[in-house]
Structure formats: C-alpha cells, structure tokens
A and B are shown apart, each in its own frame.
Chain A
Amino acid sequence: MDPFSDSGELYQIRKQFFSGQYLKATDHQLDSFSEPAVPKVREYILRSHLILGNYEEVETGIQNIEDTDVSKSFELYTLFVKSNEKEPIEEFDDFLTNVTSDSEVITVLGSIYLARTGRIDEALKLLEKNSANNSMECISIQIQLRILTNRLDLALKDISNFSKIAQDDIVFNLTESWVNLLKGGSAYQSSFYFYEEISQSNTSLKNLICLLILNLQLHHLPESAEVIEQLKTINEADVTNGDLLANQITYYVLNGEFEKVDELREELITQNSEHPYIVDYNEKVALFDDIVAKYH
C-alpha cells in the first residue's frame, strides 16, 4: 500500500509538513513508525527544524542518518541556510556534480540551493534527472521554478501531466493551487476552496496567508479582514520570511489604510529587507523619483 495514502502511516506527517504545520511535524517520535518509514519521517522532521531555525536539532539529527549522501546533503544545506547568503558554496556544488544517489531529498535540497544561488537552469536540470522517479516534490519544485521564471505556460503543461500520476495528494493539491491562482478565472475558485478547506482542517499560518491571498484575488475584502483577524490568533512562529506582512500590506492598501501600510512596511524591512516586496517597492520609489525629476 502507498505509505502516503490517507490510511498510510506517513499520511499525517506529510500533510503537516506540506501544509506548514512545522511544529506539529517535529512532534512525531521516530520509534512510533515502522522501520521502512523512518528515514522519510526523519527527513520531514529535520526539514521542519530547518525551517523553524532549530539548527542544533538538525545537526544532532544528521548524525543518525544512515545514508551518507543524504546526511551530507543535509549538512551542506544547513550550512547554506545558516550562512544566510546567496553565495554558492563550492563544496555543495562539487557534491551535487559528483553525487550519484537519486534520493528525492538530495534533489530537493540541491535544487532549492541552486535556485537560491540564482542558477535556476541548473536546478531544473537536476530535477529532470530525478523526474523519472516520479517524485512528487521534485515535480512540484520544478513547477514552482517554471512559475518563478514566468513560464506559466510550461507550468500548466507540467501540472496536467502531474495530475495523471497524483490526483489526491497534498503535494499535488498544493502545486495545483499555485498554478490555479495564477491562471485565474474559474481556477481561482478551485484554489480558494482548497485553501478554505485545508485552513480549517490543518490550520497554519502558511495556509491562512494563502486563503487571504485568494480572498484578495476574488475581491472579497470583508472576508480578507476576517482572515487577518484569524492570523492574529495563530500562535505560531512566523517563518514566512515576510510573506505574512507583505500580503497584509496589499490588503491595507486596498482598504485605504495607508498609515497601517507604512507601519507594516517598516516592520517588514526589519524582518526581511530582501523580501521581493521591499526590493520592488524601493525600485518603484526610485523610478518615480526619476520621473518627477524628468518632467519637472
């Protein structure tokens, strides 16, 4: 039986991880799982810790990984995340060129690393190598990279292929929702329903932010305000790197509360001054300065 199906033992932790309930995901005990499932469970737990910034937990966890390639990839990736730089790490590059293992997690971490260091094409190549394994997460990342490079057309193709192998999997559903919210039209609705449901059953900051996004896309301002209220009640560390604030800014702009916008922008700058919103905003302000000067 597929261990990820909704009766399988990995179903829950997987759902928690992908729906952004990282604390819950780290709560699992390895010994409560059957032996073949343990490596995958450990991966999810370690990745959750990584996202939560618990690097010590990660470093101790790595010790227990049997597969040396996997443990190496975790080690390097942790190093990369900790450095908080976009500079490539030579050792990681070497590792990726030489590694022969087709483990899913190595591809995933590797491709994220490559994409973060600005080498999206290489990331895509790495993912392609693994796509024969039908790893859902690899496909998902591939689609996200397509979107990030403004190739929604390719993303649409990929997602329709993806739908043939997975109809009802959280990773597929998530990926599909991203594509849908970019595609728009009636697809907004289906994306909206997905987040409405998952934010009820598996509430997390990440899901609620997406629900907020969909509400805004559908011009539902009062509902958006409700989601923002709900976001405040979530007692969870904000690991969204500023997305939480950036989307709220959009809401307040639409609602005409510009003081609030300025306040949140300041907050976002302190939290993550490299957030695309801030980068973009500064760019536009500069652009506007030029215009003022040009016509004056």
Chain B
Amino acid sequence: MKLLTKFESKSSKAKGVAFHPKRPWILVTLYSSTIQLWDYRMGTLIDRFEEHDGPVRGIDFHPTQPIFVSGGDDYTIKVWSLQTRKCMFTLTGHLDYIRTVFFHHDLPWIISCSDDQTIRIWNWQNRQEIACLTGHNHYVFCAKFHPTEDLIVSASLDQTVRVWDISGLRKKHSAPQGRIRSFEDQLSRSNIPQQDIFGNTDAVVKYVLEGHDKGVNWASFHPRLPLIVSSGDDRLIKLWRMSDTKAWEVDTCRGHTSNVLAVEFHPHEDLIISVGEDKTIRTWDLNKRTAVKQFKRENDRFWTIAAHPTMNLFAACHDSGVMVFKLDRERPAHAVFQNKLIFVNNEKQVQMFDYDTERETLPMLSLKKIGKPWTSIRTLSYNPAERSILVSVGDNNDNSIYCLTPLPKDVTGAIEPSDLRQGEANFACFIARNRFVSYSKATQMLEVRDLNNSTTKSIKLDSSVKDVVYASPGTVLLLKTSSVVHYDVQQKKELSEIQVNNVKYVSWSSDGQHVALLSKHTVTIASKKLELITSLHETIRIKSAAWDDTGVLIYSTLNHIKYTLLNGDNGIIKTLENTLYITKVQGKSCYCLNRNGEVEIIRIDPTEYRFKKALVNKNFTEVLRIIKNSNLVGQNIIGYLEKKGYPEIALQFVEDPETRFELALECHNLEVALDEARKLATPTTWGKLGKEALTQGNVEIVELVYQQQRLFDKLSFLYLITGNIEKLTKMQEIAEHRGDLSSVVQNSIYLNDIEKRIEVFVQAGMFPFAYMTAKTNGLDELAEKILVNSSVSASDIKLPELGEKPKLPQPVLTAGNWPLKKSSLSFFEQALIGQVENLTLEEPSTTEGKEFADSAADAFGSETYFEDDEALEEDNGWDLDDDDLDVGDADKDEAIDIAEEAGVNIGSSEIGHWIRNSRSAAGFVAAGSFETAAQLLNKQLGIVNFEPLRSRFLEVYQASKLYVPATEGLGPIKAYIRSDVEEESEKKFFPFIPGYDGLEAKLHEGFKQFRANKLEEAIENFREIIYTVAIIAVPSKDEEEKCREILNVCREYILGLSIELARRALPQDDIKRNLELAAYFTRAKLQPAHRVNALQVAMSQCFKHKNFRSASFFAAEFLKIVSSGPRAEQANKIKTRADAVSTDAIELDFDPFADFDICASTYTPIYKGSAFVTEALLGTKYQPSEKGKLCEITKITSIGAPASGLRIIQ
C-alpha cells in the first residue's frame, strides 16, 4: 500500500477538515480561529472566513446545499453560505467549547457536541435547537449521525462510546400536523422508545459501549455494516458490532504509541484508518484487525482525519497544516494488444476487452493471492505469443514482486492462476516473445529472463533509474529523474536519450514512430529516436494518453480529454466527471478505464482535431471533406484558420458580413467582398474594396466603388486609363451638369476636347487662356472670335513655343479588367465552387449510353441486386439434400485414388486432408486433382467445355500454395492456406478458395457497364462471375444461397443483354423480329431501374413502327416503375397517343399477359406447359431442339445433359 500525497497546506495547527461532496474543495479549521477554503486540485486558497473568536474545531459541508457549518471555542455554531461566502446565522446554546459539528444527510439538522457534556441537535432551517442529549458525564469529543439510520454515535472523555436512538425526534418533527391522529398512528407512537428519566423521548441512549481505559476521542459508524470504530487516549482503536438489541466489542487494534485522536472507516474498502499524536497515520485491515501500514511525519502530530464521501481521498490535519492523500494508485493495470485490452479490475481479476466488438470477457484469472495483501497491481504486460501476462505488484519499494502466469485458454470465470513464476523486482515487462526484463531498485539490476524465469543476462544500471518501460522488441525505456533513455538490452547499449523530467508514463503510437512521455504536468512528444517534437504544459495533472489511429495524441487530465497535434496545437475534446485512463482511441470512440476497473467508452467528436491536422498537413482533400460533411462552426475554428493563414477556408464558416468582408479581402475574393460591401455600405468598406479591386485591376468593381463614393475625378481617370472614351464623355457631361468647371477642364484634357475646353475658358471669362488654347491648336477662326468677344488683344498674349502637338496616349488595354495582380482561386474555393471535377467527392457518373438514359443510374444506388423474385424460389427445387449425400459418399470412396492421381503421397499432408474432406469441385481443384474436379463438374453441372475455366482453375490452385524458405539447399517447404484459420481438427481442413468476397463488387461492376451501354463487356463480366461461382467452396447454406441468387441475376442479365445485342445486329428491315426481341428483352428479370431501359426500348420501337397496342402496354409498364420526370412524361405522351389508335401494325409472337420463358439460344418464347430442356449450372431454359448444344449463357455447360446440380458447400 502506498500513500500518495495530493496536496499539502502550510499553516498553523489545523484542527478540523471537511471535503466538499462534489468539487475539489476542503474546508480547514485552524487553531488560530481562521477557516480556510482550499482547492486541493489546483492547490489554491479560495477564501478565508474569520468570524469565530478563538480556535475552530468542528466543520462540515452540507451534502447537497451550498452551505457549511462550523463550531468553535467561542461556544457558537455558525452556518455559512458558500455563494455569498458570508456567515448566514449563528446558533447559540452550548456552554463550553464545541468539538464537532455535522449535517444530517437528509433532514435539515445539525449535530454538535461540546465540553458542556451535551450533544445538541439543531434545525438549520428554522434555526432552533430541537434536542439536547445529556448523559455523558465528561466532555463530549465527537458526535455523528448514522449515515442511513436514526442513530447517533458519540465519544466522550468519560471513557464511553454511546449510541443514541433518535427515531422519536424524527417522528416528532415529521409528524403530520393539524390532523387528527389515526388509531394506528397513536398505536405506533406508543411504541416509541422508552422515556429517559427526564421524560425525554426524543433521543434516548441505546447502548453504552465501555472498554476504553481512558477518554475516547472519536467514534464513527461504518457506512454499510453495523459496526462502530472508536479511538482513545489509551492508544487503542476498538471495533464494536451492534445488533437490534445489543452491542459488543469485537476487537482492538494496538500499535499507536500515543493518543489516537481520530479514526474512520474507508468508504469502500475493508480498511480502518487512524491518526494520532504519535505523528502517524495508520491503516488496519478491518477483517483481521491487523496493522497494514503506517506513514509517519517527522514533526507534526495529527489531530483529525476525514474521508471523502465518494472518492479514494483522505484529509488529515496536523500541527502545520493539512494533507490530502489517497491510498494506492487507482490506475487499473492494463495492456493493449491489437484489438484487445487486457486489464485488472477492482477485484484484482484479469479481464479482456475487445475493441472491435466492444465486449468484455468474464473475469478469467484472479490475482488476489499474488503479493502481500493490500498491495496493488501496478503494471501488466501481455505476451500474445504465449498468451501469458506479467504483472508487477507493489509500490515501487522493497516489497515489490513480479509474477508471470499464463492466461487460461477458455474463460470460465476468475480461476486461480495455475502456473506462477515470481521474483522480486519493482518492475517487469516482456521485451520479446520469449524474454522479459525485471528491474529492482534495491540492487539496480536489470535482469533479462526467459520464460522459465531464469536469468539469461544481468545489467547494472545507475541509481537515477526510477522506472523501466517497454519500448520495442529487445529494447526498453529507462525513466530517470531528468531524462529518458532508450536502451538496447541485447547489446547493452544506450541508443538515444532525451532530457525530460520525471516521466511517469509512456505511450507509443501504433506505428511506433512517436512516443508520448507523460510526467505530472507535461506531455512531451518525441520521435522513436527520442528527438523532441513538441512538449506542452498542463496545470492539471495528466493522467494518460493514447494515439488516435491518425496519429493524434489524445490525453486525459483529471477532468478533461484533450488532444494535441504533432506541431503542438491542442485543445479540449470533452470534460470528464470522473478521472479516466485512456487506453485506445479508434475513430469516434475513446476507450478508457475508470477507477473502478471498468471499461468506459466515451464517444468523442474527432472532427476538430482531424480538421486541424488535415490543415497542418496540407491535406486539403480531407479538409474539404470535413467542411462538406460536418458543421464545424465557432470562433475557435475561425480564429485558428485565420492564424494559420487560411482565410478562404474561414470564409466558409462565417456569416457575419463584417468578418466575411475582412476575410474576403484577405483572400482576395472580390466577389464575396463586393456582396458583403453592398450589405454593409459604409464609406470605409467601399474604400477598402476599391483599393483591393484596384490592385487586382478589376476595373468593373473599381468603377462601381468610385460611383458609389462619387469620386468623379478618380472615375474620369479610370476611364481614361482604360480607354473608355464613351464613359469619359459622359463624365464630362456630368461635370458640366454639376457645374464643376475644373472637372470639365480636366475631362476635356483627358478627352483632348479643345473646343470644350475653350468653351469653358470663355464661360469662366478666362479669355487669354481660351485664345491661347485656340491659337496653339490651330483654331485660328475661333481664336479671332474670342478676341472679338473679349477685350484681349493678340499682342497681350505671348504664345509659347510649341513643338509638335502631342498625341493622346492610347491605353494599352481598353476593355475588361486589368489584371495587375493575379488572384487565382485557392484549392478550396475551386473545390467549393465545384469547378474541379476530379476533386468532387462523388464518383463521376459514367452514363454515356444514348438509349440507356441516365435516370436509371440514379435509381440504382439504393437498391440491392436481388429483388424478391419468384423465380428464385422455383429454382431451389432442384437442389435436394439427398442428392448431396449420394454425391458426397461417392466422392469419399474415390479419395485415395484421387490423391494418387494428384501425385501426392497422402501421408498426413495437407493436400491429403483436403482431398479427403472436400466435397466441392473447388476443393479438388485447390488440392490439384483437376481430373476429379472435372469429373464432378461434368456430372453435377454438365460442363463439357473446360477451356473458359482455365484461368479459374489455375487461380484456385495457386491461391492456396506457399513456399517457406527453410534450410538452404533443401528447397522450400510447401505450406498452404486454409479456409478457416482457427480450425484445429484435421477432419475440417479445407483449402482457401478465393472469390466469394469479390462477387458482389463484380456484380456491381457489371451493372455499371450495363448503364454505360457496354453490353459485351457486361456479359463477359457476368460470365466471369458464373465461372467463379462454378468453382467455389463456401462454409454454409447461407453463402450457398447467396451464390445461387447471384447466378440467377447473372443468367437474367446475360440473357437480356444477349437479346438486346441480337436485336441491334438485325438488318434494318426486319421490323417484326426487332420488335419481338425488344419485347423479350423486357421479360429478363432485371432490376427495376435497369428494366426501365428495356421497357423504353420496347416502347419507343413499337411506337415508331406503329405497334400502338404494344407500345401502350410497355408505356404502362414503364410508368409503373418511373412515375415522374421527363421520361415519364414522354411515356405518358406515348401511351395517350398509342391508346388513341390501340392496334398493332405487325403481329408479334409476344403475349404480354401470358407467363413464358425465353429460350436462350433461339430467343423464342417457351410458354407454360410446353416442352423445354434446361442446363444445370444456371437452370437456363431452352427449346427441346437445342438439346446437346453448348449453353449460350455459360458457354461451358451442355444443354439437357443429365446433372445432379451445383454443390459448393466445402
């Protein structure tokens, strides 16, 4: 047993402590009058309460309400609110120090005890004292309610423990009020406990327990059993038992060397825990009353102890503060191997859990008797090859041992281990199939042992090694105080080292490339060569970690499940109520062990971290998939995307126009920005948009923006540089209209419109300018006119010397946008717009067929390929069980001959077993006796043409043969693949025959070819399926049934498609045959979605050739399947028009209402009742004239040959 300190406070003498029932809080009362509220998980002082005068001793949280109670040496009891953190009221009445105060678990009561020799009960709702229990004749040190019954236990310096009955008090306070009491009620009242000498019936002493020789300091009820434990100044702990009528002393625990101040039962284990002035915490076995363990503090006397109501936590008060601790680790020892979790439950039994089926086995092995009692199993290592486990037991100190034992083969409940191999060591784990290592801290020896537990090698390590964990075959990780070392045990060599402090646990990724090193507050991820990849810090303790199947580390802290990517990006996945230890993460399931040693499956949403991971790895297809398939919204993701420089992705998640606008600008997406700018319509938005549009050279948007902002000058200039003269002229007009003369001048310059300019100058009275302009531009006439109209003379104006008249520059590009800055659409934008064909996630549909319109393709997806066809059941008729037996027996006798024929010395070889066991032709093919197989196929199915089966024969034969390179020079050992890997009985060895699993896919391929109008290929494909099924072996009737269904499907399709091909090959003028074949095609039992194609062909052909009655019939059939859409409309039209005439131009050999089959070679109807012959593999029907020919469908079987039928059960 180990004491693990979780929290320690430093303060003056602590006298009382209480746990909050839910939150990680404790209240501590100090001798110095303060009450402290601590968060023991974070180690922070939350609050202080200082209203008591003098030492405070009693303290308790209410189990459900947000209040607490305290009692002090100032004779007062105070009730406080946790919400306001204020004292709500004070209860007075006691006449001396108050020792303890406790709430009742259910009634609004408080119990207190005092040096005034009384125990009092108070109602905290009406704030009144409701009972005062007298009887002790010295200080009362402790008084508590029973956790479930109406009892009180008290301990006093008068050397007694007393048990009080308070059922009277409960009755009194819960009695119905204002009602006349019924007779029964009165009767039951008369049965209440006897009155004490003062006539007090509320609370009476039930038992007085005498046995302590000195004052009793503490007494406590067992939470479930009728037991009391007490401790006193006589240094003893006494255990008492009570029945309904009496109570007696059971036993005494001796060991404390000074006053024992408090004692409690462990809330769920058979343990007693006590503290005393001898500075020790001691634990005792409740059943044996023997000391289990003691923990000593150097300088501090202990004053009291409290147990957490539900968790494995205790708090002990001592001279310099309080300590919160737990006994033993609560991490269930476990090991993960492939899809199995092997773990030790709370009963110390080994169980196995299958991740795939999510089922756990019954307990299979009990480890209770391993190691000393009260030591826990720390680690478990599993060896799948030997199916054995290796556990290390103990607390990392001298008592630790390891133990190697095989797991029972069959799980029959927790049995005792049969074959135990033990040794002393702190740690042990398998490092290879036949080796394990053990490490002992005392000797610092790492020993390599074989499975017989004998040492094959010893290695001396240095003292800094704290723990050893498995790394890879033959290597371990040495966990040292400040580093982790990868150590090769075989070569005694350090392979690599990484500086990390106090690593406690290690988790390897499934591909062995990465390792997560966990210490209390940090997770360090390193490569397999121990190169640091990333490291992160957590304020809350880290508990466990496992790698997701995509290489993301999922870890748990005390109260969260979190993830971290290899680049250090991390986040919270889920908040936990109870601490969990993650063992494996698979997709959305996080498989954990809880502290009760049970598997808990937490469903998590991996989208966020998968998304981030895809983004970090630039796996954009995946990012896209996630965007499309999930709704990942939230500031978190948007912020992340922006930070990572993917505004265009963030854009997909935002709706707020302002954010969208900013993001759009950031990713240069002008269209979106424009949309949003329109919504926002603020000057700044337009300004920003204009600027961006200008840099991108998007003239249209710039123009729009300038128009919006009425930036005429800019607009004019824009038109100038883009050579948009028309608009520029308009601008000039607008300027005139606005009366903005300078703007007109500006525009006239842009336009080189001299007259306009002169006009403006004249208008403005600037005659010299006007004259000058006119003169220099050679408009002499106009110049004269100006001179005349004004007072300016030509001599006043000195004309500048001008060279040649400048030409107006022509814009380089006059139309459209001006691409200054290329903004290509990012991958996502393209994908999201759907521009990039090959990016779309849906498979592109391949519907090239002209006649076979595309709607059939859509209809297909949802359907299975076998409909409820009556034909299926009919076909079953020819497979009678008796037949099977006959054939089988006959085969048996031949077995030996066959073997010889196959060239095998039968001995005890695999081939021999196969030949003996097989009943299907495929079995013989695989065994290499082709002769026999051929005979069988001929007899059973009438196969005469074997050539098409060549590749199938060779496939089946080759598929089960292997060549093991053994001793060099001797040639390989032949090995074989069996159909059932787990089979042990040689009577049931069968060869592995490939093909069954691929049948369905192949069928779908055929359908695809059908839709794409590749009819010949489809027929080929269906035929291959037939050949596969002809030589197949399946384990049971179910699979056989499925194979038969598939064969029927193939037959119908080949038949139908052959008819259609024959029709297409007809000469144009053979209309009658054309229509007949079209009609027969509709009789093939295709899936409805495919049959519509046949119907459409028949309908339109008939209509075209004026066979209206038939056309109407086919149209009606068509409409039964397709009832809406353009094709249905067309059918409707045809039907209406055909019905109007309702005659057939050509008489066909086709009666739509009669039941008939179609001969597969002559393509003529075989009406019910007329003679026909069949072929045995598919049951295809033929006209009697075809007997003896090769089947057109299979191309291998003979029509009408006597045959016993298909048998493919191995």
A80 to chain B, nearest CB (A): 9
B55 at the interface (CB under 8 A from A): no
Interface residues of chain B: helix, strand, loop or mixed (majority)? loop
B843 at the interface (CB under 8 A from A): no
Q: Give Cα A254 to B318, complex, Å.
A: 73
> Which residues in A have their C-beta under 8 angstroms from that of B854?
none
Task: Count chain B residues whose beta carbon lies closer than 8 angstroms to a beta carbon of A.
Answer: 70
Interface residues of A in 136-166 (CB under 8 A from B): 140-141, 144-145, 147-153
Given contacts A167-B452, A219-B992, contact A284 B384 (CB under 8 A): no
Given contacts A148-B970, A197-B473, contact A178 B433 (CB under 8 A): no
A174 to chain B, nearest CB (A): 8
In the complex, which of the residues A193, A250, A276 contacts B385, with contact meaning CB atoms closer than 8 Å?
A193
Interface residues of A in 208-259 (CB under 8 A from B): 209-210, 213, 216-219, 239-243, 246-247, 249-250, 253-254, 256, 258
> Which residues in B have their C-beta under 8 angstroms from that of A167?
434, 450-452
Given contacts A150-B908, A253-B994, contact A206 B965 (CB under 8 A): yes
Q: Give Cα A218 to B909, complex, Å.
A: 19
Interface residues of B in 936-995 (CB under 8 A from A): 938, 943-947, 950-951, 953-955, 957-978, 981-984, 989, 992, 994
In the complex, which of the residues B954, B959, B968, B973 contacts A284, with contact meaning CB atoms closer than 8 Å?
B954
Residue of B943, B955, B959, B962 contacting most chain A CB atoms (<10 Å)? B962
Task: Select the stretch in A36-44, A67-75, A92-100, A285-293 that faces chain B.
Answer: A285-293
The digit string for A180-192, where 1 denotes a CB below 8 A from any CB of B, is 0110111011100
> Which residues in A have their C-beta under 8 angstroms from that of B358?
none
The answer on a CB contact under 8 Å between B957 and A219 is no
> Which residues in A have their C-beta under 8 angstroms from that of B433?
193-194, 197
B1125 at the interface (CB under 8 A from A): no
The answer on a CB contact under 8 Å between B432 and A201 is yes
In the complex, which of the residues B450, B908, B962, B992 contacts A152, with contact meaning CB atoms closer than 8 Å?
B908
Q: Give Cα A147 to B971, complex, Å.
A: 12
In the complex, which of the residues B961, B968, B977 contacts A219, with contact meaning CB atoms closer than 8 Å?
B977
B929 to chain A, nearest CB (A): 9
A6 at the interface (CB under 8 A from B): yes
A198 to chain B, nearest CB (A): 9
> Which residues in A have their C-beta under 8 angstroms from that of B963?
213, 242-243, 246-247, 275-277
A281 at the interface (CB under 8 A from B): yes
The answer on a CB contact under 8 Å between B457 and A6 is yes
In the complex, which of the residues B906, B934, B943, B967 contacts A144, with contact meaning CB atoms closer than 8 Å?
B967
> Which residues in A have their C-beta under 8 angstroms from that of B81?
none
The answer on a CB contact under 8 Å between A201 and B967 is no
> Which residues in A have their C-beta under 8 angstroms from that of B974?
276
The answer on a CB contact under 8 Å between B457 and A7 is yes
In the complex, which of the residues B472, B944, B968 contacts A51, with contact meaning CB atoms closer than 8 Å?
B968
The answer on a CB contact under 8 Å between A217 and B946 is no
The digit string for B412-435, where 1 denotes a CB below 8 A from any CB of A, is 000000000000000000001110
Interface residues of A in 263-296 (CB under 8 A from B): 275-277, 280-281, 283-285, 287-288, 291-292, 294-296
The answer on a CB contact under 8 Å between B971 and A276 is yes
> Which residues in B have their C-beta under 8 angstroms from that of A184?
978, 981, 983-984, 989
Closest to B432 in A: A197
Q: Give Cα A206 to B951, complex, Å.
A: 30
The answer on a CB contact under 8 Å between B975 and A181 is yes
> Which residues in B have their C-beta under 8 angstroms from that of A213?
962-964, 975
The answer on a CB contact under 8 Å between A285 and B385 is no
Closest to A77 in B: B969
Q: Give Cα A281 to B967, complex, Å.
A: 23
B151 at the interface (CB under 8 A from A): no
B407 to chain A, nearest CB (A): 13
B70 to chain A, nearest CB (A): 63
A112 to chain B, nearest CB (A): 4
Given contacts A167-B452, A168-B450, A291-B946, contact A181 B964 (CB under 8 A): yes
The answer on a CB contact under 8 Å between B905 and A150 is yes
Residue of A173, A246, A294, A295 contacting most chain B CB atoms (<10 Å)? A295
The answer on a CB contact under 8 Å between A247 and B385 is no
In the complex, which of the residues B386, B958, B966, B970 contacts A281, with contact meaning CB atoms closer than 8 Å?
B958
> Which residues in B have their C-beta under 8 angstroms from that of A63?
none
> Which residues in B have their C-beta under 8 angstroms from that of A112?
967, 969-970
B810 at the interface (CB under 8 A from A): no
> Which residues in B have their C-beta under 8 angstroms from that of A6?
448, 456-457, 490
> Which residues in B have their C-beta under 8 angstroms from that of A148?
970-971, 973
The answer on a CB contact under 8 Å between B964 and A296 is no
The answer on a CB contact under 8 Å between B966 and A144 is yes
In the complex, which of the residues A182, A281, A296 contacts B973, with contact meaning CB atoms closer than 8 Å?
A182
Closest to A179 in B: B973
Q: Give Cα A281 to B963, complex, Å.
A: 13
B853 at the interface (CB under 8 A from A): no
The answer on a CB contact under 8 Å between A200 and B473 is yes
Residue of B433, B954, B964, B984 contacting most chain A CB atoms (<10 Å)? B964
Closest to A239 in B: B968
The answer on a CB contact under 8 Å between A185 and B983 is yes
> Which residues in A have their C-beta under 8 angstroms from that of B450?
167-168
The answer on a CB contact under 8 Å between A291 and B961 is no
The answer on a CB contact under 8 Å between B981 and A150 is no
The answer on a CB contact under 8 Å between B957 and A284 is yes
The answer on a CB contact under 8 Å between A250 and B905 is no
Q: Give Cα A258 to B950, complex, Å.
A: 13
Given contacts A213-B962, A250-B958, A254-B959, contact A288 B384 (CB under 8 A): no
The digit string for B447-465, where 1 denotes a CB below 8 A from any CB of A, is 0101110001100000000
Residue of B433, B903, B953 contacting most chain A CB atoms (<10 Å)? B433
> Which residues in B have their C-beta under 8 angstroms from that of A185?
981-984
The answer on a CB contact under 8 Å between B909 and A288 is no
> Which residues in B have their C-beta under 8 angstroms from that of A147?
973
Interface residues of B in 1116-1131 (CB under 8 A from A): none
Q: Give Cα A117 to B953, complex, Å.
A: 32
Interface residues of A in 3-22 (CB under 8 A from B): 5-7, 20
Q: Give Cα A115 to B966, complex, Å.
A: 14
Closest to B458 in A: A7
The answer on a CB contact under 8 Å between B998 and A256 is yes
> Which residues in A have their C-beta under 8 angstroms from that of B872?
none
> Which residues in A have their C-beta under 8 angstroms from that of B972?
241, 243, 246, 276
A116 at the interface (CB under 8 A from B): yes
Given contacts A193-B433, A287-B931, contact A141 B959 (CB under 8 A): no
B989 to chain A, nearest CB (A): 7
Q: Give Cα A253 to B998, complex, Å.
A: 13
> Which residues in A have their C-beta under 8 angstroms from that of B943?
295
Q: Give Cα A190 to B966, complex, Å.
A: 17
Interface residues of B in 438-492 (CB under 8 A from A): 448, 450-452, 456-457, 472-474, 490
A81 at the interface (CB under 8 A from B): yes
The answer on a CB contact under 8 Å between B964 and A217 is no
Q: Give Cα A258 to B1028, complex, Å.
A: 15
B904 at the interface (CB under 8 A from A): yes
A-B contacts, 8 of them at CB < 8 A, read: A116-B971, A149-B907, A174-B966, A186-B984, A213-B962, A219-B992, A241-B971, A246-B963
Residues of chain B at the chain A interface (Cβ within 8 Å): 384-386, 432-434, 448, 450-452, 456-457, 472-474, 490, 903-910, 912, 928, 930-931, 934, 938, 943-947, 950-951, 953-955, 957-978, 981-984, 989, 992, 994, 998
Residues of chain A at the chain B interface (Cβ within 8 Å): 5-7, 20, 47, 51, 81, 112, 115-116, 140-141, 144-145, 147-153, 167-168, 173-174, 178, 181-182, 184-186, 188-190, 193-194, 197, 200-201, 206, 209-210, 213, 216-219, 239-243, 246-247, 249-250, 253-254, 256, 258, 261, 275-277, 280-281, 283-285, 287-288, 291-292, 294-296
A-B pairs with lowest CB-CB distance, top 10: A193-B385, A150-B907, A150-B909, A185-B984, A243-B965, A112-B969, A153-B908, A291-B934, A246-B963, A253-B958
Q: A217-B978, A258-B955 given. 15 additional CB < 8 A pairs?
A: A7-B457, A144-B970, A144-B973, A145-B970, A173-B434, A178-B966, A190-B386, A210-B965, A213-B963, A213-B975, A218-B981, A243-B972, A253-B959, A277-B961, A294-B934
